[in-house]
């Protein structure tokens, strides 16, 4: 019709006019001349005129009690040199001739002209245009001028160069790159260019530096405050956005206390030159603690250069409900099958890239949930980096990320100078690990310094652990065969990777996640997450880098871990911590990954040589290659545990904790020096973490355990060596020292020692307590002990007195060295005299078959308890047998070696077995553990030391190099000869019907007792034949845990001893004549009796 024809003509005319306008606009656009750039952001100079508190109520210079908080040096680039946009031979984007006659149109995909450097000016591109895929080919460059520029596209493929400033030319104008695309528009995984900047050439993005990028409160900010005080004076500007972190324990979507705010202005103050006031455009909603003990962080989110996802298709669509509950418990958790559809922008620097350098960049609405390699800012499979300054990230910001923040993947260097630096950067509101410092496990020689991350959201069924359930309806989960998960358990379920759970270790998402410790990690602050700093066990490199089978990532040492803090974390499991070394991830040959966040064995075995523990060499680390993981100046607050390590060796120097359930739980040989434990601060933490009920006991344990008890330090129950020196405990009203007493299966030897311990504002009636209370009277409870080197644990004796602390569960006599001992509610506290010592061993009295039932049939590890039969009694010489030490089937014996008594008398109530074996000996080289055992007259003996089972002697005739696997003991004529020998003699006294033997440690031997060349076919041991192995730190030495592979065996042959000799009730304890011998008290010491 006529009307229809007219409408078509009008549309045609409008389109022609629009194209004419675009052509004219292109022809009239001129290159920016950059003579009037915005000024550099200024540091505050206007004084705050409002009211302030007295100066002594503010924390300044990031002061901390013992941990030294290190901060970056102020080195701001104030000039512009080597600016790409000022280079010669640039051509203008808006020049149609370089494009063949017309500039790129809206929605078009195109390549930058070959071998051309194209400059974008402020007027070059219509701000409403959204291009398709923009390709920068090899030999070409796309350069942004220092001007207000909006650039929008579906993606960019950078094979040549993308330059937005340079390291020495930081741009000052606002530049925004928005990337478009929806999750459903293509099959997943999508190409790297989909809603991404994919770089195989080089990229430089450098905006204004705001310094520092994050700081801490100087004083508490209360709800309703519109001014906060901070411990630095940054060049932050009006209308920029900051975040103030939570100072609560729980930090999840369903309940948290982080909040963003907008800056009105930053002011100087008269409080201190380093304390500034930040006026906000609106009052705060929540309280953020800033006392002297610790302070909330304040971080800047805004930058002048922004790469972001579009506002239409980036946000996840599966966000409701946020909070879920389980069963009848009123506790809430963020629903684990939500927030899985985020599809933001990403930047990936790939393999052959020649440079990837970023500073002053803000990344917003970024990351693509559960899509591998689609992270906000990602160095991907760069391989061996062989030259310096090619790849770094500095003072950048990631917020509202749907998958991670900053990732180093499959990239390593042979020296720190060539490695990647990630520094002074921030991350906030992040799904999955934020600073993903090592994805495959081969990432080494990188530097992660002065960064901040907060409000990190785990993926998957992380909440199930605290309920003790296994539900695989949404995720591929199966039960841990080593132990059921629960809030209090050491274990958690195994989880497999799947389409909606692409990395199962995201169940333990952390602000900082480090699978290979051989990197610099200094001056960082972590808030939130499953843990603050996660160090999972990777027994082998995984992913695309897994062809390298000569590195065991979990065993790599820490290059440096110093000045880091963590808080509001470790909430989902009682062993989760501010710093967590645990969990395990392995990959199948098809690439399916399996992860558990809980304890896993074999544990970390830190080693100098990277090959040990790797697929190429599964052996444990040799003694001369062992490394201690060293943590310096670490501070943790508001966490279930300060630091949890399931590893073998570590040192914690200047370690500081506040408001945690337990300061540390550490395994292996560990030295803790200058630890400061502040059990409870002045921060009024919200009780029960948002579990909205007046009946707190109906909440999940994760919501109330924090308030129901506190232990300053807990000694473990078996196979450890812990030395604590120069430690302070403050504001503790619950037990300060705790030791595990729940087990009949796992029991303590000589494992712990302390020196120079002090207290302030503590409940002295609860200095030390067992973890359980009898009944039952467990083996671990009877053997519990530790050495207080200078008598400072309890102020009962003069400082400098060597004191043993031993459990009185073992009876009224066992741990009682002398008459000056003090019997408290749970322990004997005893000053030790010259010649007194502590020893430990396992006395095997039952058959191998019966011992194999320890755990499943007898002597269980905790409740519900199983029978744990008693097979022997031990009494000190010169003491009454009425209250002996009870030796159970799990036959650990830890106890005093009392010089005044002389030894141990061992009685077997059912008669002495014809085979008695000693293992796991911990005995000082010069200490004489004289043991007397009843045997009937006429008994003959075959007594020997047996090497481990892998020592196999060849058949005779023996050669000089042949190992000696069994060293036969020889009879001597007196007790004195036994006591003065080096442990390979015995004496049977037919008058008293007692066998006398000296028990020694055998740990010094490697796998045999020498060779025929050195021992001349079972030569007599001398003073140099055996020696001790110690763990020594801080002026304290502990014997290492005794070997279970070396043994001393007594084979008795008698017609009456098959398999046991008859009971011999008439055989008496050596030296006992009716009154126990306790020795004489040291001069000047009065007996003190305390009843707690």
Question: Quick check: 771 pLDDT over 60?
Answer: yes
Contact status, residue 242 vs residue 261, Cβ threshold 8 Å: yes
* Cα–Cα separations (whole angstroms), residue 378 to 459, 469, 523, 899: 20, 36, 22, 65
CB-CB neighbours of 910 under 10 Å:
13
Identify the H or E element spanning 704.
helix 701-704
> 1081 is written with which tokens?
């008290």
Task: Determine the average pLDDT of the residues in 1042-1066.
Answer: 90
Give the per-residue pLDDT at 1055.
84
> 217 is written with which tokens?
């409160």
Give the per-residue pLDDT at 104.
98
Write the pLDDT tens digit of every residue in 801-846: 999 999 999 999 999 999 999 999 999 999 999 999 999 999 999 9
Give the per-residue pLDDT at 254.
94
Give the per-residue pLDDT at 261.
98
Mention every residue, 6+ apart, whose C-beta is less than 8 A from residue 513. Answer: 433, 434, 435, 436, 437, 438, 505, 533, 534, 536
- SS3 category, 261: strand
Least confident of 603-607, 709-713, 989-993: 709-713
- Rounded CA-CA distance 601/611 in Å is 18
Least confident of 386-390, 470-474, 1088-1092: 1088-1092
SS3 letters across 766-828: HCEEECCCCCCCCHHHHHCEEEECCCCCCCCCCCCCCEEEEEHHHCCCCCCCCCCCEECCCEE
Return the bridge partners of 115, or none: none
> 509 is written with which tokens?
């998402």
Question: Quick check: 1077 pLDDT over 80?
Answer: no
Sheet of 713-715: strand order equals 713-715, 737-739, 768-770
Give the per-residue pLDDT at 98.
97
Question: Quick check: 1086 pLDDT over 50?
Answer: no
Write the pLDDT tens digit of every residue in 117-141: 999 999 999 999 999 999 999 999 9
The residue among 888, 895, 943, 938 whose CA lies nearest residue 917 is 943
Give the per-residue pLDDT at 1076.
59
1088 band by pLDDT with thresholds 50, 70 and 90: very low
How many CA atoms within 13 Å lie on the side-chain side of 756?
11
Give the per-residue pLDDT at 963.
85
Contact status, residue 229 vs residue 383, Cβ threshold 8 Å: no
- Rounded CA-CA distance 993/551 in Å is 59
Give the per-residue pLDDT at 1006.
74
Contact status, residue 628 vs residue 650, Cβ threshold 8 Å: yes
> 471 is written with which tokens?
């539900």
Task: Determine the average pLDDT of the residues in 303-313.
Answer: 98
CB-CB neighbours of 237 under 10 Å:
16
Give the gyration radius of the chain's Cα atoms. Answer: 35
> 25 is written with which tokens?
């606009």
Write the pLDDT tens digit of every residue in 843-868: 999 999 999 999 999 999 998 999 99
Write the pLDDT tens digit of every residue in 659-703: 999 999 999 999 999 999 999 999 999 989 889 888 999 999 999
Give the per-residue pLDDT at 13.
45
Question: Quick check: 21 pLDDT over 70?
Answer: no
Write the pLDDT tens digit of every residue in 53-75: 999 999 999 999 999 999 999 99
The residue among 197, 163, 176, 164 whose CA lies nearest residue 127 is 176
Question: Quick check: 593 pLDDT over 90?
Answer: yes
The residue among 491, 444, 435, 454 whose CA lies nearest residue 243 is 454
Q: Average pLDDT of the chain?
A: 92
Sheet of 970-971: strand order equals 885-888, 870-876, 904-907, 929-934, 994-999, 985-989, 970-971
């Amino acid at each position: 019709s006529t009307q229809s024809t007219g409408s078509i003509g009008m549309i045609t005319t409008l389109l022609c006019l629009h194209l004419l306008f675009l052509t004219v606009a292109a022809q009239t656009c001129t290159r920016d001349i950059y003579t009037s750039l915005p000024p550099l952001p200024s540091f505050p100079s206007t004084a705050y005129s409002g009211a302030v508190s007295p100066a002594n109520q503010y924390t300044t210079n990031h002061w901390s009690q013992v941990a030294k908080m290190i901060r970056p040096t102020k080195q701001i680039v104030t000039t512009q040199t080597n600016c790409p946009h000022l280079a010669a031979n640039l051509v203008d984007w808006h020049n149609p001739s370089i494009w063949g006659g017309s500039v790129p149109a809206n929605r078009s995909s195109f390549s930058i002209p070959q071998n051309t450097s194209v400059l974008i000016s402020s007027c070059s591109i219509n701000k409403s245009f959204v291009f398709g895929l923009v390709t920068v080919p090899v030999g070409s460059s796309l350069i942004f001028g220092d001007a207000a520029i909006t650039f929008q596209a579906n993606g960019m493929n950078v094979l040549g160069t993308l330059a937005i400033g340079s390291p020495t030319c930081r741009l000052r104008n606002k530049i925004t790159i928005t990337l478009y695309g929806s999750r459903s528009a293509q099959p997943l995984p999508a190409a790297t260019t989909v809603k991404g900047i994919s770089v195989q050439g080089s990229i430089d993005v450098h905006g204004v530096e705001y310094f520092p990028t994050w700081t801490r409160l100087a004083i508490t900010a209360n709800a309703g405050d519109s001014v906060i005080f901070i411990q630095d004076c940054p060049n932050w500007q009006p209308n920029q956005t900051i975040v103030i972190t939570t100072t609560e324990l729980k930090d999840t979507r369903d309940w948290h206390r982080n909040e963003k705010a907008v800056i009105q202005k930053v002011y100087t103050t008269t409080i201190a030159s380093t304390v500034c006031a930040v006026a906000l455009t609106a009052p705060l909603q929540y309280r953020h603690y800033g006392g002297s003990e610790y302070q909330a962080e304040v971080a800047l989110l805004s930058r002048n250069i922004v790469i972001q996802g579009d506002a239409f298709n980036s946000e996840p669509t599966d966000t409701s409900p946020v909070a879920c509950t389980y069963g009848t418990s009123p506790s809430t958790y963020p629903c684990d099958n939500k927030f899985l559809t985020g599809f933001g922008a990403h930047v990936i620097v790939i393999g052959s890239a020649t440079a990837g350098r970023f500073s002053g960049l803000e990344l917003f609405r970024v990351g693509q949930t559960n899509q591998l390699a689609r992270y906000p800012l990602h160095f991907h499979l760069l391989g061996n980096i062989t030259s310096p300054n090619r790849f770094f990230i500095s003072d950048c910001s990631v917020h509202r990320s749907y998958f991670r923040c900053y990732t180093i993947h499959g990239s390593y260097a042979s020296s720190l100078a060539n490695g990647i630096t990630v520094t002074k950067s921030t991350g906030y509101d992040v799904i999955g690990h934020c600073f993903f410092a090592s994805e495959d496990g081969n990432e080494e020689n990188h530097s992660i310094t002065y960064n901040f991350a907060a409000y990190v959201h785990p993926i998957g069924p992380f909440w199930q652990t605290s309920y003790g359930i296994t539900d695989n309806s949404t995720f591929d989960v199966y039960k841990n065969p080593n132990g059921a998960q629960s809030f209090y358990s050491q274990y958690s379920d195994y989880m497999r990777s799947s389409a909606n759970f692409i990395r199962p270790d995201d169940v333990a998402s952390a602000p900082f996640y480090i699978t290979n410790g051989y990197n610099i990690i200094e001056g960082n602050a972590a808030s939130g997450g499953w843990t603050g700093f996660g160090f999972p066990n990777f027994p082998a490199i995984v992913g695309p880098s897994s062809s390298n089978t000569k590195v065991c990532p979990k065993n790599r040492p820490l290059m440096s871990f110093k000045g880091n803090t963590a808080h509001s974390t470790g909430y989902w499991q009682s062993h989760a911590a501010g710093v967590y070394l645990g969990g395990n991830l392995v990959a199948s040959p098809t690439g399916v990954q399996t992860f558990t966040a809980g304890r896993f064995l074999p544990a970390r075995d830190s080693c100098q040589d990277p090959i040990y523990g790797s697929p190429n060499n599964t052996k444990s680390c040799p003694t001369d290659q062992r490394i201690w993981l060293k943590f310096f100046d670490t501070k943790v607050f508001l966490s279930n545990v300060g630091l949890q390590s399931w590893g073998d060796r570590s040192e914690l120097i200047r370690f500081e904790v506040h408001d945690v359930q337990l300061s540390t739980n550490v395994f292996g040989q560990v030295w803790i020096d200058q630890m400061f434990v502040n059990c409870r601060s002045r921060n009024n933490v919200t009780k029960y973490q948002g579990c909205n009920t007046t009946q707190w006991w109906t909440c999940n344990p994760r919501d109330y355990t924090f308030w129901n008890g506190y232990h300053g330090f807990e000694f473990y129950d078996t196979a450890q060596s812990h030395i604590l020196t120069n430690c302070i405990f403050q504001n503790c009203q619950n037990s300060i020292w705790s030791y595990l007493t729940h087990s009949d299966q796992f029991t303590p030897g000589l494992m712990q020692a302390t020196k120079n311990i002090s207290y302030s504002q503590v409940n002295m009636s609860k200095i030390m307590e067992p973890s359980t209370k009898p009944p039952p009277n467990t083996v671990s409870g009877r053997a519990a002990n530790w050495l207080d080197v200078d008598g400072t644990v309890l102020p009962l004796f003069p400082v400098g007195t060597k004191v043993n602390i031993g459990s009185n569960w073992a009876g009224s006599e066992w741990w009682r060295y002398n008459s000056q001992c003090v019997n408290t509610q749970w322990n004997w506290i005893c000053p030790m005299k010259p010649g007194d010592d502590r020893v430990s061993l396992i006395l095997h009295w039952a058959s191998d078959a019966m011992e194999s039932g320890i755990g499943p049939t007898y002597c269980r590890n905790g409740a519900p308890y199983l029978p744990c039969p008693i097979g022997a009694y031990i009494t000190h010489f010169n003491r009454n047998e009425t209250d002996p030490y009870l030796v159970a089937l799990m036959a650990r014996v830890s106890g005093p070696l009392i010089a005044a008594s002389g030894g141990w008398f061992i009685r077997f109530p059912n008669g002495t077995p014809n085979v008695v074996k000693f293992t796991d000996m911990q005995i000082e080289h010069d200490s004489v553990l004289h043991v007397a055992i009843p045997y009937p007259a006429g008994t003959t003996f075959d007594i020997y030391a047996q090497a481990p089972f892998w020592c196999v002697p060849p058949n005779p005739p023996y050669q000089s190099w042949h190992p000696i696997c069994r060293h036969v003991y020889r009879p001597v004529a007196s007790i004195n000869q036994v006591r003065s020998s080096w442990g390979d003699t015995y004496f049977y006294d037919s008058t008293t019907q007692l066998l006398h033997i000296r028990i020694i440690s055998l740990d010094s031997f490697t796998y045999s007792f020498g060779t025929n060349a050195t021992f001349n076919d079972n030569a007599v041991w001398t003073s140099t034949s055996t020696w001790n192995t110690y763990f020594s730190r801080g002026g304290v030495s502990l014997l290492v845990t005794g070997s279970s592979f070396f043994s001393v065996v007594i084979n008795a042959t008698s017609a009456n001893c098959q398999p046991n000799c008859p009971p011999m009730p008439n055989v008496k304890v050596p030296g006992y004549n009716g009154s126990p011998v306790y020795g004489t008290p040291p001069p000047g010491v009065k007996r003190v009796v305390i009843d707690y």
